[in-house]
Amino acid sequence: MSFLGMDHGTREIRFYLLPENLGFSIPRRRAARGGVLREIERRVELSQIELAAVTHGMGDAISAITPVERVENRGVLPGGGAGEHVGGGERAFDEIAQSGIKVVVIPGLHRGIACLDERMRALYSHMASAEKVGIAYDAYLKAKQELNAESLIVSDISSNTVNIAVREGRIAGAVDACLGAIGMLHGPLDLEAIRRIDAGELTANEAFSRGGAVKIFPFSDFSEVLEPKSKRARLALNALLLSVEMEIRSLTALVEPEAIVVTGGAGAHDAVFSGLAERLQKLAPVLRTDEYSAARGCAEIARAVHGGAREILGIEVEV
């Protein structure tokens, strides 16, 4: 008996199998061309997968962890979301949904999620895409196991940055990539970006997709910022660290953290993790997870739902 988690990430689609503790990834463009089932079958027979938990995009058309047969448009509202559209995630979702495997779909964090603090729901229509729920659950299990922590702040730093507040085992709120801290590529729109949009020089989505560390130091690979060789690259890294620290500290208005968990393609890198740990260790112990955090968290959600769980971090499970 196996449980499968799928993370529809920005650059890759990641999978995780439990109890095998096996993670693997497929670039989104390759998934768009060739699909994903063959890659899954190389690791496990589909008939052995008891339940899969998957994410897709914003996840804002559903408000509970929902059986895939009850989900329309892959759980996404018409109009999509921000960022690059490739098509790999759509093909992966459809293949798994039509494979005969039992599947549940994880929602994003938005106004329809009842466990969120009502003030956050009043402020923001959308707070995090669906894979962040997987990340939050993986981080919660780690913090619970290592520190017996029930309240924590989770910081996912990669192409974009999203921070999530978990209060006494329930998600209380989050700050989405277009609202607060910068990531490597994406970031909120400042006044200069708004003026350029109004002038017709670029779209809001283009401004968002260039609003991260890349606007300070244009790079072709994350390592150019994470392992800086120039003053400007070092400035981009330090600005990223400052913006993330500011956002984490802002979430202490919602939760008194017993742990801070840092993850993501940039967050797991020593330069980012050590920089944040040094700045935040007096606030709470700082832990780290790897790039498979979202997929592993989704697999853990699948295992918990199969075991009878009726809510995950406060999010209802629809049966």
Q: Which phi and psi (to 5°) does residue 109 adopt?
A: -100, 115
CA-only gyration radius of the chain, Å: 19
Q: Which two tokens stand for residue 183?
A: 């990531």
Name the amino acid, one letter, at 167. R
As averages over each run of 10 residues, the pLDDT of the chain (319 residues) reads 88 92 88 81 94 93 96 83 57 89 97 98 96 98 98 97 98 96 97 97 96 97 97 98 98 98 96 97 97 96 98 95
Q: Which two tokens stand for residue 30?
A: 């390759």
Q: Which residues are CB-neighbours of 206 under 8 A, at least 6 positions away?
A: none
Q: How far is CA 56 from CA 22, 74, 96, 188, 240, in A?
A: 21, 7, 12, 22, 26
pLDDT of 85 reads 47
3-state secondary structure of 284: coil
Pairing, β 161-167 against β 170-175: antiparallel
Domain map (residue ranges) of the chain: 2-316
**CATH topology (fold) of 2-316:** Nucleotidyltransferase; domain 5 (3.30.420)
**Percent composition of the chain: helix, strand, coil (DSSP 3-state, to 5):** 40, 20, 40
Question: Which pTM value belongs to this model?
Answer: 0.94
Q: Output the CA torsion 248→249→252→254 (10° steps).
A: -60
